């Protein structure tokens, strides 16, 4: 079996949507997803950028994210065809570890705990394919690299692109 590495935030989990939700709750303004396009993470919001950077350190930020559309069905199918690992650089937000583990248990119950890797740098990760939204995670990877579309990476054209989970299914199933 080929080894497939799949990221969490903004790949199987809608981190962008969670930033939008937290921003609305805090400041009473709901920004559109499109308004964040082509901007660094967090910087697409009209103001309060220092506070936005703190959202991921707050309780429930990771645990109450929605899964990205189609991610559950497609990952469950991929899980039968590939040696699949969910790899998240979760150590950036220490309190996210338990929340992310619970989240995966809730939304991806078919994954074995041995398939979950919470790490600091992804430079140690090896495999055949990696799907991630952040260029710096892909750059150090030894296998074939796929960037998963998120508002902050739409201008990047150095990787093969997967726009959504439907496309990921078509490519890998």
Nearer to Mg ion, 79 or 137 (CB): 137
Residues belonging to the chain = 173
Q: Which of 4, 5, 10, 79 binds Mg ion (CB under 5 A)?
A: 10
Name which of residues 149 to 168 contact Mg ion (CB under 5 A): none
Q: Which of 6, 7, 75, 162 binds Mg ion (CB under 5 A)?
A: 7
Three-state helix/strand/coil letters over 84-133: EEEEECHHHCCCHHHHHHHHHHHHCCCCCHHHEEECCCHHHCCCCEEEEC
133 lies in the binding site for Mg ion (CB under 5 A):
yes
Is 9 a known active-site residue? yes
Token match 């992804």: residue?
122
41 lies in the binding site for Mg ion (CB under 5 A):
no
Q: Which of 4, 5, 6, 9 binds Mg ion (CB under 5 A)?
A: 9
Q: Report the chain's C-alpha Rg in angstroms.
A: 16
Is 132 a known active-site residue? no
Point out which span in 8-16, 75-83, 116-124, 154-162 binds Mg ion (CB under 5 A): 8-16
Q: Phi/psi at 110 (nearest 5 deg)?
A: -80, -10
97, with CB counted inside 10 A (0-12, 13-18, 19+), is middle
Residue 107, Cβ neighbours under 10 Å: how many?
16
Point out which span in 45-53, 73-81, 109-117, 126-134 binds Mg ion (CB under 5 A): 126-134
14 lies in the binding site for Mg ion (CB under 5 A):
no
What is the contact surface with Mg ion in residues (CB under 5 A)? 7, 9-10, 133
């Amino acid at each position: 079996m080929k080894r497939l590495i799949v990221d969490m935030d903004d790949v199987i989990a809608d981190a962008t949507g969670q930033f939008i939700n937290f921003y609305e709750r805090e400041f009473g303004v709901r920004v559109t997803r499109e308004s964040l396009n082509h901007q660094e993470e967090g910087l697409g919001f009209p103001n309060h950028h220092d506070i936005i950077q703190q959202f991921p350190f707050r309780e429930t930020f990771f645990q109450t994210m929605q899964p990205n559309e189609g991610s559950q069905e497609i990952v469950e199918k991929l899980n039968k065809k590939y040696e699949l690992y969910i790899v998240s650089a979760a150590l950036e937000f220490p309190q996210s570890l338990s929340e992310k583990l619970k989240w995966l248990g809730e939304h991806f119950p078919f994954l074995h705990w041995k398939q979950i890797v919470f790490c600091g740098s992804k430079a140690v990760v090896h495999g055949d394919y990696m799907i991630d939204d952040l260029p710096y995670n892909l750059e150090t990877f030894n296998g074939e690299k796929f960037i998963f579309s998120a508002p902050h990476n739409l201008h990047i054209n150095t990787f093969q692109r997967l726009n959504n989970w439907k496309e990921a299914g078509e490519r890998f199933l």
